[in-house]
A = this chain, B = another copy of it.
Amino acid sequence: MTFETAATSSSPPAPPPRVSAMDDSPKGRILTAAAQLFRTRGFAKTTVRELAAEVGIQSGSLFHHFKSKDAILESVMVEVIEFNTSRLIAARDAETDPVARLRALILTELNSISGDTKEAMGLLVAEWDALDGEAQSRVLVLRDRYEKLFLDAIEQARDRLVDIDPFILRRLIYGIQSGTRTWFNPDGPLSTSDLVDLVMKLARDKESS
């Protein structure tokens, strides 16, 4: 797994943006391995020994970088939300038409959920309950900021969308997006863009002007 955005350009002067702290530092390597292991084996079933082995260090050395196993989970969640929020902002700012803007957000989120940050995004749902109350509050603040980007976009495109309350429509769309991780393969016959077209087909019932 990587947190770089897919390189769409081949020109050397424009390196892919690195937003996350999941770099080649010791902490970054732990977070990268943790995202994968926690997701594939589950948080509770992943042992600190397994995680350490994946990074290539002794289990005790993990606690030089993080104060607990729980703190590693929280850190992964924080990083992935912040990274994907900044992606969402970039996508929003690249479009002006309300419907095109909403489509861009959906495309970006689909890429987060079924693309490059798939494992870490899945963690947010699958292991949410593994976080204690205080950690949940901290992460929730970031999630709300993320969600607001969607809500604003839906509200601004409202008159060209199916007549459903924006808050609920966002939840229906998020359900679809979230569900893709169990069946959708971005490299399969149906492209990510095709899939977004289908979602937009459901979400809007009026022709764009």
Q: How many copies of this chain are found per oligomer?
A: 2
A190: which of B168, B174, B183, B184 is its contact (CB, 8 Å)?
B168
Contact of A179 with B by CB under 8 A:
yes
Residues of A participating in the B interface, judged by any CB pair closer than 8 Å: 40-45, 125-126, 129-130, 162-164, 168, 171-172, 174-180, 182-184, 190, 198-199, 201-203, 205
- Known A-B contacts: A126-B126, A162-B202, A163-B201. Give 16 more (CB < 8 A): A42-B130, A44-B44, A168-B190, A168-B198, A171-B183, A172-B176, A172-B179, A172-B198, A172-B202, A175-B175, A175-B176, A175-B178, A175-B179, A176-B176, A178-B178, A205-B205
A178 to B174, CA, bound (A): 10
Which partner residue on chain B sits nearest A126 by CB separation? B126
Docked Cα-Cα span, A29 to B130, in Å, equals 26
Interchain residue pairs with CB less than 8 A apart (27): A40-B129, A41-B129, A42-B42, A42-B44, A42-B130, A43-B44, A44-B45, A45-B130, A126-B126, A162-B201, A162-B202, A163-B201, A164-B201, A168-B190, A171-B179, A171-B180, A171-B183, A172-B176, A172-B198, A174-B179, A175-B175, A175-B177, A175-B179, A175-B180, A176-B176, A178-B179, A205-B205
- Cα–Cα, bound, A199→B176 (Å): 11
Cβ of B190 and Cβ of A172 under 8 Å apart?
no
CB of A199 within 8 A of CB of B172, answer yes
Instruction: Give every chain B residue within 8 A of A202 (Cβ-Cβ).
Output: 162, 164, 172, 202-203
- Identify the closest chain B residue to A45 (Cβ): B44
List the B side residues contacting A175 at CB < 8 Å: 175-180
**B contact residues around A125 at 8 Å (CB):** 182
Residue of B nearest to A180 (CB): B175
B residues less than 8 Å from A178 (CB atoms) = 175, 178-179
Residues on B with C-beta less than 8 A from A172 are 176, 179, 198-199, 202
CA distance A176 to B177 in the complex (A): 9
Bound Cα distance A198, B199 (Å): 15
